[in-house]
Amino acid sequence: MYDNPNLERKVAQQDTKISARNVQVFYGDTHAIKDVNIEIPSRTVTAFIGPSGCGKSTFLRCLNRMNDTIDICRVEGDIDLDGENIYDKRVDPVQLRAKVGMVFQKPNPFPKSIYDNIAYGPRIHGLAKNKADLDEIVEKALRRGAIWNEVKDRLHAPGTGLSGGQQQRLCIARAVATEPEVLLMDEPCSALDPIATSQVEELIDELRDQYSVVIVTHSMQQAARVSQKTAFFHLGNLVEYGDTGQIFTNPQDSRTESYITGRIG
Amino acid sequence: MTDSQHIVSSYDRDLEGVQALIIKMGGLVETAILDCAKALELRDEELAERVRKGDKAIDALMEQINEETAFVIARRAPAASDLRVVLSVMKMSNNLERIGDYAKNIAKRAGVLLQMTPIDGASGAVRRMAREVELMLKDALDAYIQRDPELAQVVSNRDKEVDQMYNALFREFLTFMMEDPRNITACMHLHFIAKNIERMGDHVTALAEQVIYVSTGKMPEEDRPKADSTPYEIHGDPMAGKD
Amino acid sequence: MTDATANSPQPKSSLLTVSPRVKQRNAAEARFKMYGIAAVMTGLVFLVILLATILFNGVGAFQQTFIEVPVYLDAAKLDKKGERNIDDIKKVSTFGYTPLIENAIFAAVEENVDNNPLTASKETKALISASAAAQVRDVVIANPEMIGETVDFRILAASRVDGYLKGRVTRDSIARDKNIDAVHLDIVDQLRAKGIVKREFNWAFITGADASESRPEQAGMGVSMLGSLFMMLVVLVLSLPIGVAASIYLEEFAPQNKWTDLIEVNISNLAAVPSIVFGILGLAVFIQFAGLPQSAPLVGGLVLTLMTLPTIIISTRASLKSVPPSIRDAALGLGASKMQSVFHHVLPLAMPGILTGTIIGLAQALGETAPLLLIGMVGYIASNYPTGPIAGFMDPNSAMPAQIYEWAKRADPAYYERAWGGIIILLVFLITMNIIAIILRRRFERRW
């Protein structure tokens, strides 16, 4: 049944992009993430699901060291990106974040023009030699963000004037513009209507060709729709991690079962 | 029907509702199996007629189950064990409906056989076979209610016995027909009846497999014991006498 | 589905009739609205009364009474040698000019008033300001060629005369006043009818220097305005960068620990410290310890900077806080450094708030009097313009509120009127600054 090439649900054996070993996260005295081990393959959409406060967002933010900005947050254990420990002392988080882009829950375009929103990342990282280069990068990013056709005539209009779904795709395009290898998405559709959600989900599926996408979502249906791998977090533990099809039809752990079937876990 | 309740209690009621329908349908089918065999043995035209009419209720139940499961899928988007319950209910209702159809077919043939001279002992053997299938179905439904994959596995294994009974009847009918060609019509009907019961057994086995799938999330391996050897048997062949 | 509802089913109520309970609630709401409107109206009434009082009392300060007379600049008195040597002319003091002016006035009275009651030109002294001689002398020194000619002058009238025209001085009130007699008032009435005595707009009040206690008609706000201007320059140049830098560090970079908490609490407390405490601090530190000159706008500016800093820091931090964290996340998520995220994204968004806070802080500093008391800016008679920018910072001066305070405490009722007038000028400045704050905020916000 998996031989049908049109059904690409099964994850082909791919190299590991991110691997986390014995990751612990503390917020002050709170043990937020307990001993998480996970291997995230490249060119795959991996979904993190779990009830509120289970630590899925926290763990996601560990992957590009966004937790560094929180004073009381302490991360232990190793997280490797292509075999390099991102928590190594020599790693500058700024450089890391250029490689591991992030899209947030609420669309958060800068209060600048659409063009400047996209161009900001390439500018600060010096990716463009001249204006023509930058124009090209902006167009490419907007095309990859599946929003080029909607905004090509008003690149200098404010990004905040777009609709919610367009704003979120703009944010994805902005993240893509810095040529990342991994895209982290923290509930990217929670503020969007179903149509905009579908557009973003379609985009996520397209992005899978080139990036590892890790998405945190509260919508189990969304996880089931967009991801190939699913990880279920509960009370700071990684309870179950496996192929999405298996997690949603036959989870191995009773906590996963209770959660995805809508029972009190 | 697992250990805990859904947060949305109406979801529980929906799932319980479709499963109750399956149990009800199973009950009707059990009766139909027993009644058609009884009608055959007791040459009870009236009972046979009742079985034929009763099939309509079974078909209607299947329709209802299909509708209800479609609603549950559309409204609740079931996942994991809930998804398996809904899927299994759909398949089981199909299986039960097929069994019902076989029972109806048997009842029809029983009506025809009334006009013929009875074959000695045949209807008794058919009734034992039907009884066996009915017990299997009953156990399979119990296993479903109790989510007992082991009992379901036992049921599935018992299909072998039904197959053996069918083999025995098959040879017996062959013998009757060879003895006296006037028996051929009756024996052909009886053979189809036996075959129908054997097919019922297969459907009950499929049903038992659904029980295993519901409770474990996996389909059983395809190596259950099979004893229906008739496809490979050669009868009336000159060589047969030498066996 | 409790028993109570089951046993005693409520009579079906109609939506068209209002239940007593709802009526009560609506009445309470209506009452509350009335209280609110009453409160707002009370506030408005007080505001109107305040503004009306200020305008009523202060508007007079913008008008002044002048006497227009031709003065014969007698060469025999002003330049005895007749050489028109400027040094010789300068030797003649104001005492030399007074008789000339008195003669001119006397002549005017002789000509225009029936039955001139005055017997000697000396008696006209009550009509003219003591500053008149200096006024004429200044003109003559500037134009020595005028000597020997008769020139039309517009001479400041005495403050009693001014007061009479404005209604402040009446025939009853001068009964025991030895400066002026009813006779003089009769003369003023007649001269006024002839257009020799008249009230005109008084630019000197806005641009002029302060004058001594006995010459309220000459006093102006100009010099103390310059004092305030130099102080505000000091405050702006020091408190804006220091305040904004401190707030950015505390808000965006500083770790959250006991020390930063302590600093935070202290800043909040500093904002509530009485301003006179800053004054005594300035006296001790800037004047006594650092040896800076007394009464100087530089010192005043430093003291006001100390006072304004907490306001600016608090408002800047509030506007930095109000920038949604998602903007910071967005920038950091793209690989911007902390500093880039603050300076490229957070600060521009916080700018309207920072500017508003700064201007409000400045306005507060502009109206502050108490700290100036202790560093000697109150009580200083700001009668000379600063000679240059450096002198503007370093030379003793007064400031607008200090000037108003100074006038208000002087004995002559003519100064009372000028204090009100000063308040009008101060209010105009404050309103202007607030309008600038609003315009800046609008402009920055309208970028998107």
- Domains belonging to chain B, first-starting first, are 9-229 (1.20.58.220)
State mean pLDDT over C37-60. 94
Point out the residue among A98, A106, A160 whose CB comes nearest to the CB of C335. Answer: A98
State mean pLDDT over C402-408. 90
pLDDT digits (tens, 9 = 90+) for B162-209: 999 999 999 988 888 888 888 888 899 999 999 999 999 999 999 999
Contact call for A104 and C326, based on CB within 8 A? yes
* pLDDT score recorded for residue A226: 92
Point out the residue among A221, A248, A258 whose CB comes nearest to the CB of B4. Answer: A258
**Dihedral angle sign, alpha carbons of residues B77, B83, B86, B87:** positive
pLDDT digits (tens, 9 = 90+) for B107-149: 999 888 888 887 777 888 888 999 999 999 999 999 999 999 9
Q: C256 in contact with A at a CB cutoff of 8 Å?
A: yes
Name, in order, each residue with C-beta under 8 angstroms of B35's C-beta and a sequence gap of 6 or more: B47, B50, B51, B54, B103, B107
* pLDDT score recorded for residue C218: 85
Per-residue burial over A236-259, b = 16 or more CB atoms within 10 Å of its CB, e = otherwise = bbbbbbbebbbbbbbbeeebbbbb
A/B Cβ contact: 3+ pairs below 8 Å: yes
* pLDDT above 50: residue C2: no
| Concatenated DSSP letters of A173-210 | HHHHHT--SEEEEESTTTTS-HHHHHHHHHHHHHHTTT
Percent of chain B residues topping a pLDDT of 90: 59
Mutate to test the interface with A, among C261, C334, C446 (most CBs of A within 10 A): C334
Enter the tokens of residue A69.
């900005």
Contact call for C330 and A66, based on CB within 8 A? no
Place domain A16-106+179-260 in its CATH homologous superfamily. P-loop containing nucleotide triphosphate hydrolases (3.40.50.300)
CA C392 – CA C258 distance, rounded (Å): 43
Q: Which residue has the higher pLDDT, B240 or C180?
A: C180
Closest CA to B19 of B213, B212, B216, B211: B211
DSSP state of B236: S
Q: Which helix (H) or strand (E) holds B39?
A: helix B9-42
Burial of C346 (0-12, 13-18, 19+ CB in 10 A): buried
Q: B78 in contact with A at a CB cutoff of 8 Å?
A: yes
Residue A61: CA count within 13 A, CB half-sphere: 23
**A261 contacts in B (CB within 8 Å)?**
6, 78-82
* pLDDT above 60: residue A3: no
pLDDT digits (tens, 9 = 90+) for C147-179: 888 888 888 888 888 888 888 888 888 877 777
Which residues, in sequence order, are bridge partners of residue A101?
Answer: A183
* pLDDT above 70: residue B97: yes
Rg (CA), chain A: 18
* pLDDT above 80: residue C344: yes
* pLDDT above 90: residue B59: yes
Enter the tokens of residue C197.
């005595």
* pLDDT score recorded for residue C4: 47
pLDDT digits (tens, 9 = 90+) for C291-323: 888 888 999 999 999 999 999 999 999 999 998
Confidence band for C443, pLDDT divided at 50, 70 and 90: confident
Q: B6 in contact with A at a CB cutoff of 8 Å?
A: yes
Among the residue ranges A7-21, A62-76, A233-247, C366-380, the one predicted with the least confidence is: A7-21
Q: B98 in contact with A at a CB cutoff of 8 Å?
A: no
| Concatenated DSSP letters of A155-169 | TTSBGGGS-HHHHHH
Tokens 């958060």 belong to residue: A108
Q: Which residue has the higher pLDDT, C70 or C256?
A: C70
A/C Cβ contact: 3+ pairs below 8 Å: yes
Strands A45-49 and A84-85, bridge-based pairing: unpaired
* pLDDT above 90: residue C192: no
C/B Cβ contact: 3+ pairs below 8 Å: no
Contact call for A97 and C337, based on CB within 8 A? no
* pLDDT score recorded for residue A170: 92
* pLDDT above 80: residue C17: yes
Q: A232 in contact with B at a CB cutoff of 8 Å?
A: no
Q: What is the spatial order of strands in the sheet that C197-201 belongs to?
A: C150-156, C63-72, C197-201
State mean pLDDT over B64-83. 91
User: What is the complex's ipTM, to 2 decimals?
Assistant: 0.85
Confidence band for B236, pLDDT divided at 50, 70 and 90: low
Point out the residue among C327, C335, C344 whose CB comes nearest to the CB of A94. Answer: C335
Contact call for A261 and B5, based on CB within 8 A? no
State mean pLDDT over A138-166. 89
Q: C379 in contact with A at a CB cutoff of 8 Å?
A: no
Tokens 């609205």 belong to residue: C33
Chains that touch A (3 or more CB pairs under 8 A): B, C
* pLDDT above 80: residue A200: yes
State mean pLDDT over C276-303. 91
Confidence band for B223, pLDDT divided at 50, 70 and 90: low
Q: A64 in contact with C at a CB cutoff of 8 Å?
A: yes
Name, in order, each residue with C-beta under 8 angstroms of A146's C-beta and a sequence gap of 6 or more: A169, A199, A202, A203, A206
Residue C241: CA count within 13 A, CB half-sphere: 4
**C344 contacts in A (CB within 8 Å)?**
120, 124
Distance from CA of B135 to the nearest CA of A (A): 30
Confidence band for A29, pLDDT divided at 50, 70 and 90: confident
Q: How far apart are the first and last CA of chain A?
A: 32
Q: Where are the domains of chain C?
A: 63-201, 222-445
CA B189 – CA B200 distance, rounded (Å): 16
* pLDDT score recorded for residue C176: 79
Name, in order, each residue with C-beta under 8 angstroms of C242's C-beta and a sequence gap of 6 or more: C305, C309
* CATH class belonging to C222-445: mainly alpha
Distance from CA of B6 to the nearest CA of A (A): 4
Name, in order, each residue with C-beta under 8 angstroms of B133's C-beta and a sequence gap of 6 or more: B33, B162, B197, B200, B201, B204
* pLDDT above 70: residue B243: no
pLDDT digits (tens, 9 = 90+) for B138-161: 999 999 999 999 999 999 999 999
CB within 8 Å of chain C, chain A residues 70-129: 71-72, 94-98, 101-104, 106, 108-112, 120-121, 124-125
Q: A47 in contact with B at a CB cutoff of 8 Å?
A: no
Mean pLDDT score of chain C, rounded to an integer? 87
Cβ atoms A182, A99 nearer than 8 A = yes
Confidence band for A1, pLDDT divided at 50, 70 and 90: very low
Distance from CA of C241 to the nearest CA of A (A): 25
Rg (CA), chain B: 20
Contact call for A251 and B80, based on CB within 8 A? yes
**B218 contacts in A (CB within 8 Å)?**
250
Chains that touch C (3 or more CB pairs under 8 A): A
Percent of chain C residues topping a pLDDT of 70: 97
**C345 contacts in A (CB within 8 Å)?**
110
State mean pLDDT over C26-48. 96
State mean pLDDT over B208-222. 87
Q: Where are the domains of chain A?
A: 16-106+179-260
Confidence band for C237, pLDDT divided at 50, 70 and 90: very high
Q: Where are the strands (E) in chain B, listed by range?
A: none
* pLDDT above 90: residue C186: no
pLDDT digits (tens, 9 = 90+) for A226-237: 999 999 999 999
